[in-house]
Amino acid sequence: MDNAGKKILIVEDDQFLREFYQELLQEEGYIVDVAADGEIALKKITEGGFSLVLLDIMLPKMDGINILKTLKTSPAKTPNGPVVCLTNLGQDTVIKQCFELGAEGYLIKSALNPDEVLVEIKSYLQKSSPNAKS
């Protein structure tokens, strides 16, 4: 599987959704790590080494916007792949803010079916590492 070895971090506070995405991605062959709150998420992102980070915005302890802000000033030890927001906050103002803070994608959970989520993830991974495919 070409997805093998790709490490994805899922940052999601809702247990059912977190486990849902975890299962979905693991079945696709990705290596999945999870974080249930903002602080753990920041710690793991700072450690680095993820091919993709799926970041929720509304989180306990520290929200996604602040994580993006922190990452701008103190980059990860081992570089990560793209950070994609996966959230239910659909306002264009929030979306714009996320892109400005360095997010490379923005997915609205309630608007996407699971297969669509997978398509999006795949496309982000491809965009970030065009060499891996070739």
Partner 1 sequence: MTNLFIATASILSLILAVVPIRKNGKSLSNLSFAWLSFVMGIWAMLFIPYNYPFLFDSLFWIKAIYILVCVMVGAMLFFGYAFPYGDKPNRWAILIYSVLNIPIIYMILFTNLFVASVHQTPTGPETVVGPYYWYGSLVWSVSGLGIAIYHLVKKFKKATGKAKFQLLYMFLGLSIFGIAAAILDGLIPIIFHTSRYFSLSAVFTLAFVGMTAYSIARHRLLDIRVALQEVLVFSLTTFLISGMFLIGAISYWTFTGQEFKMGVLLIIVILSSLLTLIFEKVTSVSKIIARNFLGQSVYDYQKVVRELGLRLSTSLDLQRLIDTLIDQLVEVFKLKKMAILLYDHGKNKYLLQKVVGFNKTLDQIEEIFNSFTSVYFPESPKIIDLEEIRKLSSGPVFGFKENSLRQLATIMDQNELSLIIPLVTNNKIIGIIVIGEKTSLDPYTVQDINFLNTMAFETSIAFQNAKSYEEIQKFNITLTKEVEDATRELKHANEKLKVLDKLKDDFVSIASHELRTPMTAIRSYAWMALNRSDVPLSDKLKRYLIRVFISTQRLINLVNDMLNISRIESGKIEIKPEPVDVLSLVRDIIDEVYYSKSTDKKFQFEVMEKPVPKVFADPDKLRQVLLNLVGNSIKFTPQEGKITFDFFTDGKTVEISIKDTGVGISKEDLSKLFHKFSRLDNSYTALSVSGGTGLGLYISKNLIELMHGTIKASSEGVGHGTTVTITLPVANSDTLSHADQFTIKPRGEVKGLEPVAI
* Residue 1 or 111 having the CB closest to partner 1: 111
CA distance 50 to 90: 25
* Residue 6 or 109 having the CB closest to partner 1: 109
Shortest CB 24 distance to partner 1, Å: 8
* Residue 26 or 78 having the CB closest to partner 1: 26
Beta-carbon contacts of residue 64 (< 8 Å; ≥ 6 apart): 11, 38, 55, 56, 57, 58, 85, 87, 98
DSSP characters over 52-112:
EEEE-SS-SSS-HHHHHHHHHHS--SB----EEEEES---HHHHHHHHHTT--EEEEGGG-
* Residue 64 or 81 having the CB closest to partner 1: 64
Shortest CB 12 distance to partner 1, Å: 9
* Chain residues that interact with partner 1, rule: CB under 8 A: 14, 16-17, 20, 24, 58, 88-95, 108-111, 113-116
